[in-house]
């Protein structure tokens, strides 16, 4: 017997007038795995999540969450999943603790359970000290964590997260990633949207790339990177004055060399380590001084560029040199 998928989208579509925000999207998320919905602004990620979590009614198509049809059995769907939306939906006037009490009451959970779970979640999310403060005094990161704690109160087996780390500093972001990995270890199925390739790469087992309401690619992070083409050798010169000589030298070794004018960087298509060592050797004997030489595999950024024709957002605070290598 096969295990029923945790989440399934079947030709889901949502049109706002002439705007086809989501235009026939299908995917399957096996139980216990992480799906990353990757796409630029306006791709339709939020609209997809809103339909799957029963907040928005599809124009056509349907979906299933925990085996329940989002159109026919919305209440069963709501009982089976948690949602952390793109904008934090905490009640700012209530304290952190009261926010959980409110949601606990609406789930019909016992007071004892809500009390104990609140302690547990606040401890885990570093909110204990702020538990009795009004949520409007929380920082953006704390609000996000409170929002997540609210979504986890009923220990949902399936969790939807819409851009969970947007607006967080790198420290909070990695903290949240850690929490999400823990949830996955516990068996939770995650569907998360992101504009950040690094995030999808880090967390997702399977990535669905959406653009303009349609799926333009799907697969594991590795599969997607393979699709973007070959690896390349990247050389950083000590002096920009050597750029032309270096380009000449590299063209003797590789059919395709890319020079960034005005920079000290050159990139050559390569098949693997063999090409890299050969290029290293010719530089060695030529006497052109280099600062760095290395093999770069295509990043998801390249995948993105390759698929959509435009670059994805770069994580704020991320080191730009680890993002894509020009081809």
The one of Mg ion, another protein, ligand ATP, none whose footprint includes residue 102, by CB under 5 to 8 A per kind, is: another protein
Residue 42 sits in the site that holds ligand ATP (CB under 6 A): yes
How many residues are recorded in the chain? Answer: 327
Residue 47 sits in the site that holds ligand ATP (CB under 6 A): yes
Residue 53 sits in the site that holds Mg ion (CB under 5 A): no
Give the separation between CA 36 and CA 304, rounded to whole angstroms. Answer: 14
At 230, which helix (H) or strand (E)? none
The one of ligand ATP, another protein, Mg ion, none whose footprint includes residue 299, by CB under 5 to 8 A per kind, is: none
Could you tell me the two tokens for 314?
Answer: 């770069």
At 163, which helix (H) or strand (E)? none
Closest CA to 186 of 49, 78, 31, 80: 31
Residue 298 sits in the site that holds ligand ATP (CB under 6 A): no
The answer to whether the CB of 212 falls within 8 A of the CB of 269 is: no
Q: Which residues contact 208 (CB under 8 A, 6 or more apart)?
A: 25, 27, 35, 36, 37, 38, 215, 217, 218
Q: Which is nearer to ligand ATP, 27 or 125 (CB)?
A: 27
Residue 56 sits in the site that holds Mg ion (CB under 5 A): no
Among 84-92, 223-231, 251-259, 287-295, the segment contacting another protein (CB under 8 A): 84-92
CA diameter of the chain:
76
Q: Which of 27, 54, 63, 96 binds another protein (CB under 8 A)?
A: 54
Q: From the CB of 212, what's the least distance to ligand ATP, in Å?
A: 9
Residue 67 sits in the site that holds another protein (CB under 8 A): no
Residue 103 sits in the site that holds another protein (CB under 8 A): yes
* Contact letters for another protein, residues 3-42 (x by CB under 8 A): -------------x--------------------------
The one of ligand ATP, another protein, Mg ion, none whose footprint includes residue 280, by CB under 5 to 8 A per kind, is: none
3-state secondary structure of 222: helix
Encode 211-220: b = buried (16+ Cβ within 10 Å), e = exposed. Answer: bebbbebbee
3-state secondary structure of 161: strand
Among 93-101, 221-229, 259-267, 272-280, the segment contacting another protein (CB under 8 A): 93-101
Give the separation between CA 327 and CA 307, rounded to whole angstroms. Answer: 14
Alpha carbons within 13 angstroms on the beta-carbon side of residue 126 total: 12
- Residue list 190-249, contact with ligand ATP (CB under 6 A): 195
Give the separation between CA 170 and CA 204, rounded to whole angstroms. Answer: 18
Interface residues with another protein (CB under 8 A) are 16, 50, 53-57, 75, 78-79, 81, 83, 85, 87-89, 91-94, 98, 102-103, 105-110, 113, 117, 120, 123-126, 134, 150, 154-157, 175-176, 178-179, 182, 185-187
Where along the sequence are the contacts to ligand ATP (CB under 6 A)?
A: 16, 19, 21, 39, 41-47, 86, 195
């Amino acid at each position: 017997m096969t295990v029923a998928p945790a989440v399934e989208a079947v030709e889901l579509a949502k049109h706002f007038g002439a705007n086809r925000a989501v235009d026939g999207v299908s995917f399957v998320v096996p139980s216990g795995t992480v799906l990353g919905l990757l796409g630029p602004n306006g791709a339709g990620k939020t609209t997809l999540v809103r339909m799957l979590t029963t907040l928005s009614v599809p124009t056509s198509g349907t979906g299933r969450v925990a085996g329940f049809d989002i159109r026919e059995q919305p209440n069963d769907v709501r009982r089976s999943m948690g949602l952390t939306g793109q904008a934090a939906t905490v009640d700012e006037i209530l304290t952190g603790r009261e926010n959980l009490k409110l949601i606990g009451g609406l789930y019909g959970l016992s007071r004892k359970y809500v009390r104990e779970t609140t302690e547990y979640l606040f401890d885990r999310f570093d909110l204990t000290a702020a538990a009795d403060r009004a949520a409007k005094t929380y920082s953006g990161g704390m609000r996000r964590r409170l929002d997540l704690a609210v979504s986890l109160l009923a220990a949902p087996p399936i969790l939807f997260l819409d851009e969970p780390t947007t607006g967080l500093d790198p420290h909070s972001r990695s903290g949240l990633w850690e929490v999400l990995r823990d949830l996955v270890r516990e068996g939770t199925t995650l569907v998360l949207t992101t504009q950040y390739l690094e995030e999808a790469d880090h967390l997702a087992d399977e990535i669905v790339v959406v653009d303009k309401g349609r799926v333009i690619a799907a697969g594991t992070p590795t599969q997607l990177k393979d699709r973007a083409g070959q690896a390349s050798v990247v050389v950083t010169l000590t002096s920009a004055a050597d750029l032309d000589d270096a380009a000449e030298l590299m063209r003797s070794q590789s059919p395709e060399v890319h020079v960034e004018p005005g920079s000290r960087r050159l990139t050559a298509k390569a098949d693997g380590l063999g090409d890299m060592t050969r290029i290293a050797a010719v530089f060695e004997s030529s006497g052109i001084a280099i600062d760095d030489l290395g093999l770069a595999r295509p990043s998801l950024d390249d995948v993105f560029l390759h698929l959509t024709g435009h670059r994805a957002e770069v994580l704020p605070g991320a080191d730009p040199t680890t993002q894509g290598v020009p081809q």
